[in-house]
Amino acid sequence: MLVARRAAALNEVSVRCGPNALTVVGNVTRRADVKRAVDAALARFGHIDVWVNNAGQGITRLPSQLTDDDLDEMMAVNLKSALYGMQETLPHFMERGTGHVINVSSMLGRIPFAVFRSAYNAAKHALNALTLNFRAEVQEKRPGIQYSLVSPGVVRTEFGLNARYGGPDSRMLPGSQSAEEVAAVIAGVIDARRPDVYTLPGMAQRVAGFYGSLGGDP
């Protein structure tokens, strides 16, 4: 099942996926649209194995300049959309005793080094915490239900151009990955059900090094 706002782009992807693909035009920042997508999947396929929360939007604004609307938009797209996906699939997963949610985060949700992404960084940090909390709560009674985080770096998409207030073209930045490369990592997470995965070698060490350099112990 494929869910997105743009019907034409959605149908184009659907054709490439083959005759079994189900498309739902919707905005995942709206809980009702997410519930409608879950209901459509269950009506068509009878069950859901894996739910991938991949909606996201960037921002180009320094933290000192953020407005209420900036923060609300970043939290709606990058955090609340994932919360809706986790909550609306939960009753079905609890009934089955198994299921898998994959939340696509970002390296900026680990190391907020792009200061101009400010509220995006904050939303992805919040997504990471919420995912871990959701996992701990659900697995206390249903250990067969997994919640995974996937953290890419720069991906060669129109993400940068579509950021709030615009921004650098992600396709032109160094060290980027293709969407297909990230999708392959996500497919591997589905197979292995790993809880926390980066999409490039060395990312985990970079995160550990960053926080180690800040100190912490008295």
pLDDT computed for residue 214 by the predictor:
87
| Residue 106 to residues 26, 71, 94, 198, Cα–Cα distance (Å) | 23, 17, 28, 9
Q: What is the pLDDT, as a whole number, of residue 167?
A: 87
Cβ-in-10-Å burial (0-12, 13-18, 19+) of 3 comes to buried
Q: Which residues are catalytic?
A: 120
Percent of the chain exceeding pLDDT 70 equals 100
The reported pLDDT for the residue numbered 196 is 97
The predicted-structure confidence for 43-97, as pLDDT tens digits, reads as follows 999 999 999 999 999 999 999 999 999 999 999 999 999 999 999 999 999 999 9
Percent with pLDDT over 90 in the chain: 92
Other CB atoms within a 10 A radius of the CB of residue 171 amount to 15
pLDDT for 175 equals 85
Low-confidence residues of the chain, pLDDT below 50?
none
Distance CA 130, CA 79 (A): 9
Please give the Cα distance from 105 to 124 (Å, whole number).
Answer: 6
Give the CA distances from residue 80 to residues 35, 59, 62, 77, 124, in Å, rounded to whole numbers and listed in that order: 13, 16, 22, 6, 11
Please identify which residue in the block is written with the tokens 């939303």.
123
Query: Token pair for residue 12?
Result: 């184009």
DSSP states along 40-62:
HHHHHHS--SEEEE-----B---
Fold of the domain built from segment(s) 47-210 = Rossmann fold (3.40.50)
- CA 157, chain centre distance (Å): 15
N- to C-terminal Cα separation, the chain: 51
List C-alpha distances in Å: 93 to 47, 67, 97, 147.
9, 38, 6, 11
Break the chain into its structural domains and give their ranges: 1-46, 47-210
Residues 60/163, Cβ–Cβ less than 8 Å: yes
Q: Contact, 100 vs 190, CB < 8 A?
A: yes
